[in-house]
Structure 1
């Protein structure tokens, strides 16, 4: 039986969810898993860093769905019926297996990657979704990426749409829906530090049970 606690973080683009994950990992001194999961999974399948750099959770299906493994450099990593499957499916399955293995190893924070769904059979998981008001998200993205307001709005709309499509296609659940998450946090109301404080307190309470 797994006794340590895990946290999953889904988030709207520009809400500061990833920053919450970073701060929380530092405070709790536990690992943070995010884009590195995709790179780790890709290496297990023999996909180059150059190709992985072109994809993330928002682009994965679109970029690779038509790329059937069994051509070029990927042939050596597929055999039998696996050779006819889209590489997007292979990467998702490898990534999911990594998440489960890391969850067994010890406490950690998983940002995105459908981790709440992948860890659905685990009891000690705090599933969260972080969002914010539109104006705050716009200002944050404008500041981080040095974009105009229209550019930031377009980037937010595009990224959220792709995250939603990716999550819902893989899980059959509503992205950001309450049925998939233990709790939802609004960084516009609580601030980045406020959400981090709340999750730290919840994590420590869970760890002290029993």
Structure 2
């Protein structure tokens, strides 16, 4: 891994605004941001269908048992092959893509255990974004156009899935302060001001590399 690259990872509770904060950080620091596109990159690198990565994206229920899929080769002409894939293998493919992306430039990664995968990077800053439950539910209601009860269920289930995924693969505790360099409640300052605060934190830590 290129030791000169600054790597920012952003874990986030569902509805916390973590993705929006990561996008603002990427824009203000001129860093490359990776989120959903990691699934597409993993599919291209592995030759597997992107929907497999989407189906298992930060999801729980990891038994290490194998499940069988009929999958098309990328670039093949109506060719099909039968392959046994475990969720561990999908995680391995995605991890390889994350490591490869981190070698290219200063990057911000959203979720997907990137803080653990890139833990050997000498210039890693791992962040976690939380928010008050009321704000999270309101944000999900607006995004999903649903009622408060439904939004509450989405928030709880999303947190459970992300926690199970993270805890299983990292051996750490999702959302716990000891698992990250810095945890921030976005309800305190709001989305934009939280991004400003985190940008100042990053620049203070790596001022020379950020051009200061």
d(CA) in 1 for partners of 2:50, 2:101: 21
What is the RMSD of the two structures over their aligned residues, measured on CA atoms?
2.4
The aligned residue for residue 72 of structure 1 is 70
How far the C-alpha of 1:58 sits from its partner, in A, is 2.6
Question: Which has the larger helix fraction?
Answer: 1
Give deviations 1:141-164, integer Å, cap 9, x for gaps: 111111100000000001000000
The aligned residue for residue 35 of structure 1 is 36
How far the C-alpha of 1:47 sits from its partner, in A, is 1.9
d(CA) in 1 for partners of 2:65, 2:4: 37
Which secondary structure does the structure 2 equivalent of 1:105 belong to? Answer: coil
d(CA) in 2 for partners of 1:106, 1:9: 17
The aligned residue for residue 79 of structure 1 is none
How far the C-alpha of 1:170 sits from its partner, in A, is 0.8
Q: 1:65 to 1:108 in 2, by over 3 A?
A: farther
Give deviations 1:31-71, integer Å, cap 9, x for gaps: 11112112211222222234444442236858x96424xx5
d(CA) in 1 for partners of 2:58, 2:65: 13
Q: Does 1:48 align with 2:39?
A: no
The aligned residue for residue 134 of structure 1 is 133
- Structure 2: runs of 5+ lacking an equivalent: 75-82
d(CA) in 1 for partners of 2:134, 2:184: 16
How far the C-alpha of 1:209 sits from its partner, in A, is 4.1
Alpha-carbon contact 1:12-1:132 (below 8 Å) kept: yes
Question: Which has the larger strand fraction?
Answer: 2
d(CA) in 2 for partners of 1:107, 1:50: 28
The aligned residue for residue 197 of structure 1 is 196
d(CA) in 2 for partners of 1:16, 1:120: 24
Q: Does 1:177 align with 2:176?
A: yes
d(CA) in 1 for partners of 2:29, 2:44: 29
Which secondary structure does the structure 2 equivalent of 1:73 belong to? Answer: strand
Say how many residue pairs are matched: 200
Alpha-carbon contact 2:60-2:161 (below 8 Å) kept: yes
The aligned residue for residue 15 of structure 1 is 16
Written as runs of structure 1 = structure 2, the 5 A alignment for 1:152-163 is 152-163=151-162
How far the C-alpha of 1:75 sits from its partner, in A, is 8.7
